[in-house]
Chain A
Amino acid sequence: MKKELGIFILLVVLCIITSIYNPNFLSTINLQNTGRQIGAFGIFSIGLGLVIITGGIELSVGSMMGLLGVLLSMMLTEWNLGIVLALLGCIAIAMALGLGHGLLITRLNMQPFIVTLCGLLFYRGVARFISGDETKGFGTVAGLDFLRFLANGNLFGIPMPFVLLIIISAITWVVLHRSVYGRYLFATGRNPEAARYAGINTKGIITLTYVICGALTAISGMIFAFYTNSVSPANHGNAYELYGIAAAVLGGCSLRGGEGSVIGIVIGTALLQVLRNLVNLLDIPSSLDFAVMGAVILIGVMADQIFTERRNRRQIALMREMSAREAQSN
């Protein structure tokens, strides 16, 4: 909990500064828009964060969203599969791709970076090829109102993607921080060998995590597709994996594995989206967009590192005190 506090404070401070300089920040429409972005980015970032906790990485989420967007459009408008089948199909395909990544990584001992980098290239290419490199829309398919509502609607004024994020993060929070699966995930990410010696099915855990990441990517991908209402195969989801990684790292995930939290990832996502918003609202040249983000991430991670070391030093001091006390009483 303490770990997320620092970045949460940073988020609040940024919000206050922005609203002082530009009160429009607090306008309903701006808050709703930012909230919508946080929701859509947050969902797949959680999946990516879980993968990072296993000590892995998933670079293909952006391309996967592109491919799924194209497929969703084609299933609905060209193959007339029907909404339910198309949705389930997209999620199933994403999970299957995740399974494939997981199996390559755990069975063939391939490095996650390489497997998913190949995915990044491959899925983008496939998306562009099957769509003929043409932007796909949803045309006049009937019955999409509910899906459009999930992407663009509000529930009591709260954007639906944000509501979905809250639900999904609540579920993943319980799984990661309260369940046996979560503990195994942390153990596997920290020290796969010791986890194996404790009887944990580390390969299964890792594979399952890539599958979960696939499913969450599919959900985010569909929200983005209906949000923009069209899917450009070359650009849809482009470089989103970097937003996900940045959010996870800002939120306290270590790329070494075994560290991170759902709340941290969500706050990390919020921070990134607020930063993008801030660049707009404060009339910072938009060319500085990435520079601002890079600087804030660097500072955030640096601060986290310093706090972690300080906490560990305190524990060591506590240990020493105890042995000193014992030495005295002997």
Chain B
Amino acid sequence: MNNTPLLEMEGISKRFPGVVALDRVDLTVGAGEVVALIGENGAGKSTLMNILGGAIARDGGTIKINGAPVEINSPRDAAAYGIEFIHQELSVLDNLDVAANIFLRREPTFGGPLKLIDRGRIYKEADVLVRKLGLDISSRTLLSRLSIAQQQLVEIARALSAGARMIIMDEPTSSLTLTETRRLLEIVHDLKSQNVSVIYISHRLHEVEEIADRAVVLRDGKNAGVLQRDEINHERMVRMMVGRDLKDFFTAAGGKEGVPAKNEGQGFEVRRLRTLRYPKHNISFNVADGEVLGFAGLVGAGRSEMARAIFGVEDAHETEVVLDGKALKITGPRDAIAHGIYLVPEDRRQSGLIVDFNVRENISLPNLDAYSSAKIINFSKESKAAMDASKAINIKTPTPEMRAANLSGGNQQKVVLAKWLTFAPQVLIFDEPTRGIDVGAKAEIYQLIRNLAANGVSVIVISSEMEEVLGISDRIAVMHEGRLTGILERSQFSEEAVMHLATGTEG
């Protein structure tokens, strides 16, 4: 490594109307270095990276590449300096094949002004690139047929083929399974050995612990500190990120001792559920009143399908749902809701919320009849209920008339929750409740889950985050490829035990 770092960002400032998003932030990245950029949501990570990626203009500060000041005014400029941005929401075109995606806007052509794409060449070169990343697919495969993890690798292939010297990865593992995450971390290692730098943005601190050479922490738009390789540990990062101790982050959340007594005929029971995706396996389990049953497993294990089938938004081949000893007939979400069974879905912005509706309209939506007489809505009643709910679970919004799209991820999730909390839940199913949510809001959501359980609600928490599922659950059900491979009692909880069942490596 030579002495001039590949990238130096010095004193970067950015002001948005009414708020300073970045206040003289510094960031340096050496060639072949993996730098983790961490901080709570709103700390300024995205703003800083968008400035580097050329998506927004900075108000002050300098950017140097190999010691020379540069101007980056567009993503094209960034690409010209070898900087590639892999966004959390992948920007692949899923109607095109792998090769077309890799070579998009850089297609080798022949035929002079006709600009015909040299198909032979792009498939050959794409195949080589794809192999190099350990992807076992043809470059003629349509992107829509690939998993998210594979699509992400295609994006990395595109960055590499564009001659990237630095790749920015924004929350790259947020929708990956554990094995896929492992694979991605290995690829980050490979990139490093090829002298490609990586800026790695993640809320998953154990990944940072594992791969980062340095961790740069931002807080409220300022540098909060830098941790060198040997200083990086979970506690230090969290302390730097939040600026205070969060010592009882997980313990308080899951601190309830002992499983609640299981009264026969009480609580929630699912018998012989067969989802459309895994029709061969059937799932049976029960959740006592006041119990939190975690569902662990790899992504694609069939947990979300199970949740959707229970809630009635997805058909199931056969299932029997029993609540407090009574068998229920659920043919759609309306039936589930009528029985007090609610779902906080995986995809918050698509299924959980109407992002163009305001907070008030979102919260009241499933329960409008309660705020109306003769089907005419009483706005003051509705508004008051929304305000009470916002206050009760601390939704940060200046007014209930705020569009949900403008709230942070954590607050959006609280709006989804508020929707169900306004009328007494019997069973609440959470599907990845804290995905993409910052540390502070996570703690609040855990507290809410515990409070629900304390009030006798049967809670199901589907989570791909090991710490979360171990921390929050009274028991953990583990699934593997559509099968329920085991249910762990609290005394049996360990990362190894869960992984063992989740990967299907029995005996």
Partners in one complex: yes
Q: Which residues of A contact B (CB under 8 A)?
A: 174, 178-181, 183-184, 186-187, 190-191, 193-201, 258-259, 312-313, 315-324, 326-327, 330
- Closest residue of chain B to A327 (Cβ to Cβ) is B220
* Complex contact B372–A198 (CB within 8 A): no
* Complex contact A197–B313 (CB within 8 A): yes
Kindly provide the distance from the CB of A255 to the nearest chain B CB, expressed in whole angstroms. Answer: 15
The total number of A-B Cβ pairs within 8 Å is 106
* Complex contact A179–B372 (CB within 8 A): yes
* Complex contact B337–A199 (CB within 8 A): yes
* Complex contact A324–B20 (CB within 8 A): yes
Kindly provide the distance from the CB of A208 to the nearest chain B CB, expressed in whole angstroms. Answer: 13
Contact flag A322-B398 (CB < 8 Å), given A174-B376, A191-B350, A327-B220: yes
Q: Which residues of B contact A (CB under 8 A)?
A: 16-21, 42, 220, 243, 311, 313, 332-334, 336-337, 343, 345, 350-357, 361, 365-366, 368-369, 372, 375-377, 396-399, 402-403, 406-407, 419
The distance in angstroms between the C-alpha atoms of A201 and B338, with both chains bound, is 13
Kindly provide the distance from the CB of A86 to the nearest chain B CB, expressed in whole angstroms. Answer: 32
A193's partner among B351, B361, B372, B396 (CB-CB below 8 A) is B351
Contact flag A320-B343 (CB < 8 Å), given A183-B377, A191-B355: no
Contact flag A323-B19 (CB < 8 Å), given A200-B365, A318-B402: yes
A199's partner among B333, B350, B406 (CB-CB below 8 A) is B333
Q: List 15 A-B contacts (CB under 8 A).
A: A178-B377, A179-B372, A180-B372, A181-B375, A183-B368, A186-B357, A194-B350, A194-B354, A199-B334, A199-B336, A318-B399, A318-B402, A321-B18, A322-B398, A326-B396
The distance in angstroms between the C-alpha atoms of A322 and B406, with both chains bound, is 12
Kindly provide the distance from the CB of A131 to the nearest chain B CB, expressed in whole angstroms. Answer: 42
The distance in angstroms between the C-alpha atoms of A83 and B276, with both chains bound, is 54
Kindly provide the distance from the CB of A266 to the nearest chain B CB, expressed in whole angstroms. Answer: 21
Kindly provide the distance from the CB of B420 to the nearest chain A CB, expressed in whole angstroms. Answer: 10
Kindly provide the distance from the CB of A307 to the nearest chain B CB, expressed in whole angstroms. Answer: 15
CB contacts (< 8 Å) of A179 on chain B: these are: 372, 375-377
Kindly provide the distance from the CB of B432 to the nearest chain A CB, expressed in whole angstroms. Answer: 15
CB contacts (< 8 Å) of B406 on chain A: these are: 312, 315-316, 319
The distance in angstroms between the C-alpha atoms of A193 and B311, with both chains bound, is 13
* Complex contact A321–B19 (CB within 8 A): yes
* Complex contact A201–B334 (CB within 8 A): yes
The distance in angstroms between the C-alpha atoms of A324 and B366, with both chains bound, is 33
The distance in angstroms between the C-alpha atoms of A192 and B40, with both chains bound, is 32
* Complex contact A178–B365 (CB within 8 A): no
The distance in angstroms between the C-alpha atoms of A200 and B482, with both chains bound, is 29
* Complex contact A198–B402 (CB within 8 A): no
- Residue in A180, A199, A315, A327 whose Cβ sees the most chain B Cβ within 10 Å: A199
* Complex contact B356–A190 (CB within 8 A): yes
- Closest residue of chain A to B361 (Cβ to Cβ) is A183
- Closest residue of chain A to B243 (Cβ to Cβ) is A330
CB contacts (< 8 Å) of B403 on chain A: these are: 312, 315
* Complex contact A190–B365 (CB within 8 A): no
- Residue in B16, B18, B332, B334 whose Cβ sees the most chain A Cβ within 10 Å: B18
- Closest residue of chain B to A188 (Cβ to Cβ) is B354
A187's partner among B350, B354, B407 (CB-CB below 8 A) is B354
The distance in angstroms between the C-alpha atoms of A178 and B354, with both chains bound, is 19
CB contacts (< 8 Å) of A259 on chain B: these are: 356
Lowest 9 A-B CB distances belong to which pairs?
A320-B19, A324-B19, A321-B18, A199-B337, A198-B366, A317-B17, A191-B354, A198-B365, A199-B334
CB contacts (< 8 Å) of B355 on chain A: these are: 191
* Complex contact B354–A190 (CB within 8 A): yes
The distance in angstroms between the C-alpha atoms of A179 and B376, with both chains bound, is 4
* Complex contact A196–B333 (CB within 8 A): yes
CB contacts (< 8 Å) of A317 on chain B: these are: 16-18
CB contacts (< 8 Å) of A178 on chain B: these are: 376-377
The distance in angstroms between the C-alpha atoms of A320 and B16, with both chains bound, is 8
* Complex contact A193–B220 (CB within 8 A): no
The distance in angstroms between the C-alpha atoms of A132 and B311, with both chains bound, is 55
Q: Given A194-B352, A196-B333, A197-B345, output 17 extra A-B contacts at Cβ < 8 Å.
A: A179-B376, A180-B372, A183-B368, A187-B357, A190-B354, A190-B356, A191-B356, A194-B353, A197-B352, A198-B366, A199-B332, A199-B366, A317-B16, A320-B17, A321-B398, A327-B220, A330-B243
The distance in angstroms between the C-alpha atoms of A102 and B352, with both chains bound, is 26
Kindly provide the distance from the CB of B500 to the nearest chain A CB, expressed in whole angstroms. Answer: 34
Kindly provide the distance from the CB of A236 to the nearest chain B CB, expressed in whole angstroms. Answer: 36
The distance in angstroms between the C-alpha atoms of A196 and B351, with both chains bound, is 8
B351's partner among A181, A194, A200 (CB-CB below 8 A) is A194
The distance in angstroms between the C-alpha atoms of A327 and B19, with both chains bound, is 10
